[in-house]
């Protein structure tokens, strides 16, 4: 292992060696197609079935309710487009203003075909308010989609409450749990969600494999057509190796979740406390307690425009963290749309630094990181502004299109 410090687990996670071990036979000798009826095919089918059970167990679902996809993005697309198509109408999708692009861009696509889209606002901590959802809900809504945890600020949404309200109107509820999966307890029956997206590479599994939980009875139309695999909802020869890795990763995450969440939350609190103690200009984004265990996002007041330089200096000193999400344009100095939606002004929304910890991070790495951060921040031009507030715009001025 290199001595680099990797604190960008919200972007992706390293493959757990135990997952690699589970995948190895399917990269070599076990190459059968799960649809084949001979022995090679049966071996592959059994492996896919086992992985389906492992993923289902992570979220309290049954095997029959899990469809494997090629990514979390595809699971999100299938949930929303599939629900609208199955409704036979142009439909109405209600979502939040801070969803991942996998949801927001899918909504744009649906809007171009006549679907009505409503974006629910969030408060300054990134929470969707149940009363906001209540005002929008009507039985004519096709599906409500609110992420379980945000990728940029780490805020965990009150999914159980939102799903219960949605259910009262007989409307489908989807949650994008790509960031939350394997990190916080998720039980589809307790949460009462109908659809839930997961992605293997966020929980120390391989890239390019995701899953959609579809509650028995929920109606979806496919978005990929072909040989009818995955109950006709996702045609294509299964990515057996990836699926096996996903299953192994899901099982490990489930078994280690409680202990690991406590450990990561402890490291996060330590980093936060040290940064706030050492840098008076530092401030935190997101919810103080309702947040992913290993996720911290912060800014340095008056130095927001220096984020690019800061991340570069950290990278050169051996530490990988990010500015907002891996898929955002933050490196080009664009303000984070998530922070804008939370009511921050453009200046503060440019300054977000995301630190996201994972399974193999240690206290020693955290201490090394704090040293490296100290030198990198000291090398920046001094904080120019001594504003007392971290640049909250008037939330009423923020448009939620």
List of residues 6+ apart from 259 with CB closer than 8 A: none
Q: How far is CA 227 from CA 45, 70, 222, 234, 292, in A?
A: 16, 16, 12, 9, 39
Residues tagged active-site: 327
Helices 363-378 and 240-278 meet at what angle, rounded to 10?
60
Residue with Cβ nearer ligand PLP (75 or 271): 75
Q: Which residue of 5, 7, 59, 72 would you call a contact of ligand PLP, by CB under 6 A?
A: 72
Please, what is the minimum distance in Å from the beta carbon of residue 183 to ligand PLP?
12
Site for ligand PLP in 325-354 (CB under 6 A): none
Residue with Cβ nearer ligand PLP (47 or 147): 147
Q: Which residue of 52, 85, 92, 100 would you call a contact of ligand PLP, by CB under 6 A?
A: 100
Candidates 90, 187, 74, 102; CA nearest to 143 is 90
Residue with Cβ nearer ligand PLP (103 or 313): 103
Handedness of CA 301, 303, 304, 308 (dihedral sign): negative
Q: Alpha-carbon dihedral of residues 357, 361, 363, 367, nearest 10 degrees?
A: -70
List of residues 6+ apart from 120 with CB closer than 8 A: 94, 95, 96, 97, 128, 129, 132, 133, 136, 146, 400
Which range in 42-50, 68-76, 219-227, 296-304 contacts ligand PLP by CB under 6 A?
68-76
Residue with Cβ nearer ligand PLP (12 or 57): 12
Please, what is the minimum distance in Å from the beta carbon of residue 294 to ligand PLP?
14
Instruction: Give the total of residues touching ligand PLP (CB under 6 A).
Output: 13
Candidates 389, 332, 306; CA nearest to 124 is 389
The dihedrals phi and psi of 205, each to the nearest 5 degrees, come to: -110, -175
Q: What mask of x and - would describe binding to ligand PLP in positions 107 to 146, judged by CB under 6 A?
A: ----------------------------------------
Please, what is the minimum distance in Å from the beta carbon of residue 327 to ligand PLP?
6
Q: Which residue of 19, 102, 156, 383 would you call a contact of ligand PLP, by CB under 6 A?
A: 102
Q: What mask of x and - would describe binding to ligand PLP in positions 192 to 221, judged by CB under 6 A?
A: -------x----------x-----------
Q: Which residues of 327-357 are buried (b: 16+ CB within 10 A; e: fewer)?
A: ebebeeeebbbbbbbbbbbebbbbbbbbbbb
Site for ligand PLP in 144-183 (CB under 6 A): 147, 151, 176, 178-179
Residue with Cβ nearer ligand PLP (65 or 176): 176
| Residue 243 engages ligand PLP in binding (rule: CB under 6 A) | no
Q: Which residue of 73, 166, 328, 337 would you call a contact of ligand PLP, by CB under 6 A?
A: 73
Site residues, ligand PLP (CB under 6 A): 71-73, 76, 100, 102, 147, 151, 176, 178-179, 199, 210
């Amino acid at each position: 292992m290199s001595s680099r410090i990797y604190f960008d687990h919200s972007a992706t996670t390293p493959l757990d060696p135990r997952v690699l071990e589970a995948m190895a036979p399917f990269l070599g000798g076990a190459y059968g197609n799960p649809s084949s009826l001979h022995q090679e095919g049966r071996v592959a089918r059994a492996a896919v079935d086992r992985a389906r059970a492992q993923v289902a167990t992570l979220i309290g679902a049954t095997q029959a309710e899990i469809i494997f996809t090629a990514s979390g993005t595809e699971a999100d697309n299938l949930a929303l487009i599939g629900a609208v198509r199955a409704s036979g109408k142009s439909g109405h999708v209600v979502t939040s203003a801070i969803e991942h692009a996998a949801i927001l861009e899918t909504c744009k696509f649906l809007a171009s075909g006549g679907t009505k889209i409503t974006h629910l606002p969030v408060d300054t901590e990134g929470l969707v308010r149940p009363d906001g959802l209540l005002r929008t809900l009507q039985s004519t809504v096709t599906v409500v989609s609110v992420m379980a945890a945000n990728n940029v600020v780490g805020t965990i949404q009150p999914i159980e409450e939102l799903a219960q309200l949605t259910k009262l109107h007989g409307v489908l509820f989807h949650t994008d749990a790509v960031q939350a999966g394997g990190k916080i307890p998720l039980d589809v029956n307790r949460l009462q969600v109908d659809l839930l997206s997961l992605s293997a590479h966020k929980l120390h599994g391989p890239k390019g494999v995701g899953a959609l939980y579809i509650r028995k009875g929920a109606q979806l139309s496919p978005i990929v057509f072909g040989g009818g695999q995955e109950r006709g909802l996702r045609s294509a020869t299964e990515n057996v190796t990836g699926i096996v890795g996903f299953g192994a990763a899901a099982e490990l995450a489930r078994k280690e979740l409680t202990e690991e969440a406590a450990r990561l939350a402890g490291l996060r609190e330590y980093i936060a406390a040290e940064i706030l103690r050492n840098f008076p200009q530092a401030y935190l984004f997101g919810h103080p307690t309702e947040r992913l265990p290993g996720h911290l996002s912060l800014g340095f007041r008056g130095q927001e425009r220096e984020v690019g330089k800061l991340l570069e200096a950290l990278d050169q000193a051996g530490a990988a963290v990010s500015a907002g999400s891996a898929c955002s344009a933050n490196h080009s100095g664009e303000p984070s749309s998530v922070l804008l939606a939370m009511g921050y002004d453009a200046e503060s929304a440019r300054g977000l630094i995301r630190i996201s910890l994972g399974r193999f991070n240690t206290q020693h790495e955290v201490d090394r990181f704090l040293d490296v951060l100290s030198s990198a921040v000291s090398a920046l031009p001094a904080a120019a502004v001594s504003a007392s507030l971290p640049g909250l715009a008037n939330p009423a001025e923020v448009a939620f299109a």
